[in-house]
């Protein structure tokens, strides 16, 4: 795969989009939609891109802030580029530079809206924050990489796919389940009030430890507070993350 100036070429983008079966075996499914968007998916709204910086593309096409995104869309960010999105009226997400991610809704055939969300992160990183849910509400939200899965509920977290063998996951607040793709039985769940992070290693990378405790990488409390404000502004919902008044959105 070639990335030029932080962006996949069209040929490599299509190659990624067409290898869903192989990547599924590694614990990640990449949306197969390419150019143009399939009409039958247009009613499956996943969210909206609310802000961009730099070169942002959906299904290989350059976009502007304000566009809607749909189930199985593929978002890419270029070098020194970022995109902010509100997904399913429940999640604020910040996609950082050199990211390739596909969006998948847990959608019953008869439903018009999403019932949970899955992000399949091929490269790059995402910082995400969910709205506060009632105890009776069930809203599964999962971020997958080829190495690990972060499963969350009513929380804030950061995932970075660092290399083919390593994924970094930080539970920033509340509950996150860390699951290694190669051995789901070793999953651990952390319910935290401060940043708790691990680098998860794929088998055979030369590191005998699957979970390695790690420090703060790639995100901070100011970015999290900006997401909280964006979520509140765009949806009317607040999150459970403690407020910081010294950041802006």
- CATH number of the 3-235 domain: 2.60.120.1440
> Residue 247 in contact with residue 220, Cβ under 8 Å?
no
pLDDT of residue 146: 95
* Full DSSP string of 64-101: -TT-EEETT-EEEE-TT-EEEEEETTTEEEEE-TT-EE
Task: Answer whether residue 14 shows pLDDT above 70.
Answer: no
pLDDT tops 60 at residue 12: no
SS3 142: strand
pLDDT at 193 over 90: no
To the nearest whole percent, how much of the chain has pLDDT over 90? 52
Q: Where are the domains of the chain?
A: 3-235
190 or 35: which leads in pLDDT? 190
Query: Residue 126: how many CA atoms within 13 Å on its side-chain side?
Result: 31
Where does the pLDDT of residue 175 fall: very low under 50, low under 70, confident under 90, or very high at 90 and above? confident
Helix (H, G, I), strand (E, B) or coil at 196: strand
> For residue 136, what is the DSSP state?
T
Residues 230-244 have a mean pLDDT of 79
Q: Which of 2-6, 71-75, 132-136, 239-243 reaches the highest mean pLDDT?
A: 71-75
pTM of the full structure: 0.79
Residue 156 CA to residue 237 CA, distance in Å, equals: 14
**Residue 232 vs residue 246, higher pLDDT:** 232
Q: What is the mean pLDDT of the chain?
A: 79
Q: What is the pLDDT of residue 50?
A: 97
**Which range (33-47, 73-87, 115-129, 228-242) has the least confidence?**
33-47
């Amino acid at each position: 795969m070639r990335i030029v100036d932080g962006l996949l070429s069209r040929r490599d983008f299509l190659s990624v989009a067409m290898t869903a079966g192989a990547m599924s075996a590694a614990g990640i499914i990449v949306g197969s939609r390419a150019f143009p968007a399939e009409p039958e998916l247009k009613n499956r709204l996943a969210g909206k891109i609310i802000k961009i910086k730099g070169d942002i593309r959906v299904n290989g096409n350059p976009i502007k802030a304000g566009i809607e995104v749909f189930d199985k869309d593929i978002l890419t960010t270029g070098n020194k580029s970022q995109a902010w999105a509100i997904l399913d009226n429940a999640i604020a997400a910040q996609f950082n530079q050199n990211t390739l991610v596909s969006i998948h809704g847990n959608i019953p055939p008869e439903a018009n809206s999403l019932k949970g969300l899955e992000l399949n992160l091929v490269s790059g990183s995402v910082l995400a924050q969910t709205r506060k849910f009632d105890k009776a509400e069930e809203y599964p939200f999962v971020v997958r990489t080829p190495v690990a899965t972060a499963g969350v509920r009513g929380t804030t977290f950061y995932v970075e796919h660092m290399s083919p063998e390593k994924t970094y996951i930080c539970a920033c607040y509340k509950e996150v389940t860390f699951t290694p793709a190669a051995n789901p039985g070793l999953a651990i769940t952390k319910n935290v009030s401060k940043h708790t992070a691990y680098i998860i290693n794929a088998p055979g990378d030369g590191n005998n430890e699957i979970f390695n405790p790690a420090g703060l990488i790639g995100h901070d409390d100011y970015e999290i507070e900006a997401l909280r404000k964006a979520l509140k502004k765009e949806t009317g919902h607040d999150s459970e993350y403690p407020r910081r008044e010294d950041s802006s959105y």
